Structure 1
Amino acid sequence: METGVMDVRVAELLPLVEGTLLSGDPESRIRGFASLKEAADGDLTFYADPRYQKQLLASDASVILLPVGTKDLPENVVCIAVTDPSHAFELVVEKFGLQPVPFTAGLHPSAAIGKGVTLDPSLVAIGPNAVIGDGAILAEGVTIGAGAFVGPEVKVGRDSVLHANATVHQGCILGERVIIHSCAVIGADGFGYVFEDGRHRKIRQAGIVQIDDDVEIGAGTMVDRARFGRTWIGEGTKIDNLVQIGHNVVIGKHCIIIAQSGIAGSATICDYVVIAAQSGVAGHITIGSQATLASRCGATKDLPGGKTYWGYPAVPMQDEKRMQVGIRRIPEIRSHIADLESRLEALEKG
């Protein structure tokens, strides 16, 4: 059961979820919420995927949100029909679940504020042991969590949040409503070296990272600064935990990049691209708008937009599926060839 303040009658919940009571007592009380599998007596849950039909019928939940038109209802459970069970459940969680810490302006006494910093102490929140470098600019509503580092000359836009121990290095620019989760590093040096005289000589990385409005970057993700110019994350893009983005990469608007993926230097990811978990994009290539790279995909050359790709090297999904079917048939084909060779040998001897 989720923790939180919740003790509400089913009848009171119906207007919130815009639901219709299908079965059960409207006076039943809900004291928590959980997944279909983990819900216990007193919990609310939801059912939206036919693959979980067995879990639905076996659930110990007291109240279940169901799609309109659901036929097989579990016994002894309050069932509520809604247009979108997942969204309706989200509304309940937002109202009764764990609430975000409210914004409270002020500078913690242990925070280190550099010279020439632009901020209004009555309009920003700076947590314990945070460091704000010289010349940084923090707009109204910015939250800097405990132990976070904002480097010299960094600009952080209105209502942006750096969670505890996040790092934004010198000169980087964050737009409005940007969220940087814990242990993410924005603006570390790009991985640039040239091999000379038997050694790897470091190439100075003199550019910045620019992150546009409404971008969210997950915990432990690294976005390297450009060698020159900028590494650029476009408006509305969401990046999961543990993603590596190399120097001078350009990512368009409203992309989704999922955990453990890597994008090599100077690649261009156009708008509305989805990159699934553990995928890789080679440097200096372009992934077209509205392309999707399926999980563990390896993009080695330019890929046109509007298609779904899979495999290494990445090819259109249907082509990769056919190749996978062919690979699985290799033992059968080898056996068949051996049988034919054996028959041919017998005929030649015959």
Structure 2
Amino acid sequence: MAIALTLSELAQWVDGDIVRGGLDLSLTGMASLDAAGPHDVSFLGNEKYHPQFLETKAAAVIVPRGVSDGPQGAALIAVDNPTLAFSVVVRHFAEATRKFSPGIHPKASVDPAAKLDPEKVRVCAGAVVMAGAVVGDGSDIGPNSVVGEDVIIGRDCHLMANVSIRERCVLGDRVHLQPGCVIGSDGYGYEFSGGRHVKIDQVGIVEIGDDVEIGANTTIDRARFGKTVVGEGTKIDNLVQIGHNVVIGKHCLIVALTGISGSTRIGNYVTIAGQVGIAGHITIGDKATLTGRAAVTTHLPGGIVYSGRPAIPFREDMKLRAHHRRLPKLIERVKKLEEELKVSKGGE
């Protein structure tokens, strides 16, 4: 059952100001503006939803500072960033409903040589924790997940169903892995010899920093030797492939269907949009942004927005695209000029 939240408590948590509404108003849920009911909190994060805001049945709405109008009867809390503030609400109600009951399920398999405290860790049905693994307090190993030999998992981590972490990989604290995530699979390494592709042994590990979140069915390859690294606070979407020996900096955002080839280095605070392809052995500087479907084939300095195939600075790419759109008309003009020239020469 959700834990009720008063309007005054919510205003404190989100560092907001109550524009309208009673301090003791009880809030027991959260929903979008069009779905919210008389006990729910909602938010106005984008001006295009203003018509829904005016019609909402929510008990309270988190709004940008400066907004004072609104649906009759709804309490209003003004903040600097309603979307970020609403995430505090979501976290409150999600944590209130999460059932974390420490213990090892009878159908789980935990090797006696693994190190964990059954009174502070949960291992769900079908999960396997192998010899030498270390699981920090507060961590939750989901159904059918596999924690390999000598893996280290920090505190308060959450592995959802069917996650695989192969031998010797390291997770920091508060790492969240969505279902089907694979950490430490072999890197894609082969040499052509004697008419066949010969596998190159992959003996390194993957090291993941604190507060990293990794989406469903994303795969991160172990290093050929040394480490594949994902830095603190980085958030990775579903269906992302990260190759061996890649180093990703802190607080990056990597969106679905991106592929990063081996030994590439990505700086801090880099944003990589959906379906981006990044070649191997290159460097992308801090705070670079790659727009959707960009193809990166060479080193890119930081602090710049890139797009296109191959990726170049965004403004340059937009100019090239504009020129490309003009090509049909230019071709027609050239043909017309050629015809006029032929007629002119024929008349001489």
Shorter-chain TM-score tier = 0.7 to 0.9
- Is residue 188 of structure 2 the alignment partner of residue 191 of structure 1? yes
Whole-angstrom distance in 2 between the partners of 1:213 and 1:75: 42
Moved more, 247-256 or 332-341: 332-341
Whole-angstrom distance in 2 between the partners of 1:92 and 1:65: 10
Whole-angstrom distance in 1 between the partners of 2:255 and 2:208: 17
Specify the alignment match of 2:296 in structure 1. Answer: 299
Residue 296 of structure 1 contacts residue 311 of structure 1 at CA under 8 Å; is this kept in 2?
Answer: yes
Report the CA distance between 1:267 and its aligned residue.
0.8
Match of 1:179 among 173, 176, 179: 176
- Is residue 55 of structure 2 the alignment partner of residue 78 of structure 1? no
Whole-angstrom distance in 2 between the partners of 1:66 and 1:100: 26
Distance 1:14-1:206 versus aligned 2 partners, 3 A rule: closer
Specify the alignment match of 1:345 in structure 2. Answer: 342
Residue 25 of structure 1 contacts residue 78 of structure 1 at CA under 8 Å; is this kept in 2?
Answer: no
Moved more, 82-91 or 288-297: 82-91
Q: Which amino acid aligns with 1:199?
A: R
Residue 163 of structure 1 contacts residue 182 of structure 1 at CA under 8 Å; is this kept in 2?
Answer: yes
Moved more, 212-221 or 330-339: 330-339
Residue 182 of structure 1 contacts residue 219 of structure 1 at CA under 8 Å; is this kept in 2?
Answer: yes
- Please state whether the residue corresponding to 1:329 is helix, strand or coil: helix
Whole-angstrom distance in 1 between the partners of 2:8 and 2:242: 49
Report the CA distance between 1:123 and its aligned residue.
2.4
Q: Which amino acid aligns with 1:82?
A: A
Moved more, 339-348 or 221-230: 339-348
Whole-angstrom distance in 2 between the partners of 1:342 and 1:28: 80
Q: Which amino acid aligns with 1:181?
A: Q
Q: Which amino acid aligns with 1:143?
A: D
Report the CA distance between 1:281 and its aligned residue.
0.9
- Is residue 337 of structure 2 the alignment partner of residue 335 of structure 1? no
Q: Deviations over 1:117-151 (max 9, x none)?
A: 22222222111111011121222222211111001
Whole-angstrom distance in 1 between the partners of 2:54 and 2:215: 36
Residue 133 of structure 1 contacts residue 152 of structure 1 at CA under 8 Å; is this kept in 2?
Answer: yes
Report the CA distance between 1:38 and its aligned residue.
4.5
Report the CA distance between 1:188 and its aligned residue.
0.9
Moved more, 212-221 or 295-304: 212-221
Please list, as runs of the form range in 1=range in 2, the aligned pairs for 1:1-350 lying within 5 A after superposition.
5=2, 18-21=16-19, 32-39=29-36, 44-57=41-54, 63-70=60-67, 73=69, 76=72, 78=74, 80=76, 82-84=78-80, 85-96=82-93, 99-350=96-347
Moved more, 150-159 or 62-71: 62-71
Distance 1:96-1:184 versus aligned 2 partners, 3 A rule: closer
Q: Which amino acid aligns with 2:127?
A: A
Whole-angstrom distance in 2 between the partners of 1:75 and 1:142: 43
TM-score (norm 2): 0.87
Residue 239 of structure 2 contacts residue 256 of structure 2 at CA under 8 Å; is this kept in 1?
Answer: yes
Residue 66 of structure 1 contacts residue 79 of structure 1 at CA under 8 Å; is this kept in 2?
Answer: no
Distance 1:266-1:90 versus aligned 2 partners, 3 A rule: closer
Whole-angstrom distance in 1 between the partners of 2:71 and 2:117: 58
Residue 294 of structure 1 contacts residue 308 of structure 1 at CA under 8 Å; is this kept in 2?
Answer: yes
Whole-angstrom distance in 2 between the partners of 1:204 and 1:186: 17
Moved more, 30-39 or 262-271: 30-39
Identify unmatched segments of 5+ residues in structure 2.
none
Report the CA distance between 1:97 and its aligned residue.
5.4
TM-score (norm 1): 0.87
Q: Which amino acid aligns with 1:154?
A: V
Report the CA distance between 1:194 and its aligned residue.
1.4
- Please state whether the residue corresponding to 1:231 is helix, strand or coil: strand
Identify unmatched segments of 5+ residues in structure 1.
none
Report the CA distance between 1:244 and its aligned residue.
0.3
RMSD: 2.9
Distance 1:336-1:37 versus aligned 2 partners, 3 A rule: farther
- Please state whether the residue corresponding to 2:229 is helix, strand or coil: strand
- Please state whether the residue corresponding to 1:118 is helix, strand or coil: coil
Moved more, 85-94 or 327-336: 85-94
- Identical-pair percentage: 43
- Please state whether the residue corresponding to 2:89 is helix, strand or coil: helix
- Please state whether the residue corresponding to 2:299 is helix, strand or coil: coil
